[in-house]
Structure 1
Amino acid sequence: MADIFDVIADGTRRDILRLLLRRSSEGHDGTSVSEIVAELGVSQPTVSKHLKVLREAGLVSVREEGQHRYYSLSPEPLEAVDDWLVPFFVDEAELAEEAAAYVALPEPAARVAESVGRAAASAKNVVQSALRRLGA
C-alpha cells in the first residue's frame, strides 16, 4: 500500500476526498463516478484511476448496486496524517505544563478525551480551509 502522504499529495485525489466529505455531510449515501466526473470536470478514466488509489489506501469504500458503484469517504487512514500534523499546531511544552496541572483521567475517559480532541482539531482545520477558500 502507498504511503498515505503520497496518496493525498495528488490534488485530484484531494478534490475527490473533499467532494465525498461534503456529500457525506449532506446526507448522501455514496457518490457515483459519473457524479464525481460532473462535479470536478475530470475525465471518467482519470477519476476511476484516482478512486482505485484511494480505495487501495483505504480512504474510500465502494458499494455496488447492479452496474453502478457508489463511493464513500473512509477517513480513518487520515488519522496518521492528523497524528503527524498536530505537533506542528500545538506547543508541546505548553501542553506538558497544562497536563501536569490536571488529575489523570481514568483510561477509558482519556481515550474519549483524545478522540474528542482529534475531532475538534480536524473540525478546526476543515473550517479554516473552508474560510480560506471563501476568502474570509
Structure 2
Amino acid sequence: MVDIFDVIADRTRRDILQLLLERSTDGQDGTSVSHIVQVLGASQPTVSKHLRVLRDAGLVSVREEGQHRYYSLQTAPLDEVDDWLVPFFSVDPPTPATLPEPAAHAADVVGRAAASAKHAVTAALRKLPGR
C-alpha cells in the first residue's frame, strides 16, 4: 500500500497536484502531460514518472484520447492527510488532563467536523465561476 505522505513529500508531485487543482477549478477537463511539462519547466520523462506515482496512489486519474493523456485530480486519498492534520488546527487543543473523557472526545469530534466543513466550503468556493 502506498503511503500518501511519502507521495506528497516530493515538491514536484505537490506542484503537479497544485496545477491540476487550479486547472480543475478553472473548469478544465483534464490537463495534458505537455501542459504540465510546459508550466513546471520539467522534462517529459520526469513529469511522466511523477504522474505514475500519483496515479498509483490514486491522486490522479487519466483519460486517453488517441495518443494524448489528460490527467485530473482525485482528492479522496488526501482524506488520510486531512484526518491526520485536523487535530492540529485547534488553537488551544484541550488535553485529557483538563477535560473529562466524554468532553475531550466531544471536543475532538467537533474540531474535526469544523475543520472538515471549512475544507469543504473552501473547496466549493474555489469552484465558483470567477474565482
Whether the TM-score (by the shorter chain) exceeds 0.5 is yes
How many Å separate the matches in 2 of 1:59 and 1:53?
Answer: 9
How many Å separate the matches in 2 of 1:67 and 1:119?
Answer: 40
How many Å separate the matches in 2 of 1:72 and 1:122?
Answer: 19
2:44 is aligned with 1:44: yes
Q: Which structure has more helix as a fraction of its residues?
A: 1
- Report the counterpart of residue 3 of structure 1 in structure 2: 3
After TM superposition, the runs of 4+ consecutive aligned structure 1 residues lying more than 6 A away are none
Q: Retained in 2: the 8 A contact 1:17–1:73?
A: yes
What per-residue deviation string (whole Å, max 9, x for no partner) do you get for residues 61-86 of structure 1? 00001110000000000000000001
Query: 1:27/1:82 Cα in 2 relative to 1: closer, same or farther (>3 Å)?
Result: same
Query: 1:24/1:119 Cα in 2 relative to 1: closer, same or farther (>3 Å)?
Result: farther
- Report the counterpart of residue 66 of structure 2 in structure 1: 66
Aligned length: 110
How many Å separate the matches in 2 of 1:6 and 1:123?
Answer: 27
Query: 1:16/1:123 Cα in 2 relative to 1: closer, same or farther (>3 Å)?
Result: farther
What per-residue deviation string (whole Å, max 9, x for no partner) do you get for residues 89-135 of structure 1? 122569x47x58xxxxxxxxxxxxx4x751413666xxxxxxxxxxx
Q: What are structure 2's unaligned runs of at least 5 residues?
A: 108-112, 123-131
How many Å separate the matches in 2 of 1:6 and 1:119?
Answer: 26
- Report the counterpart of residue 119 of structure 2 in structure 1: 121
TM-score between both structures, scaled by the size of structure 2: 0.74
One-letter amino acid of the counterpart of residue 13, structure 1: R
TM-score between both structures, scaled by the size of structure 1: 0.72
What per-residue deviation string (whole Å, max 9, x for no partner) do you get for residues 12-44 of structure 1? 000000000000000000000000000010100
CA RMSD after TM alignment: 2.5
Q: What are structure 1's unaligned runs of at least 5 residues?
A: 101-113, 125-136
One-letter amino acid of the counterpart of residue 60, structure 2: V
How many Å separate the matches in 1 of 2:85 and 2:120?
Answer: 10
Percent identity at matched positions?
A: 69
Query: 1:63/1:119 Cα in 2 relative to 1: closer, same or farther (>3 Å)?
Result: farther
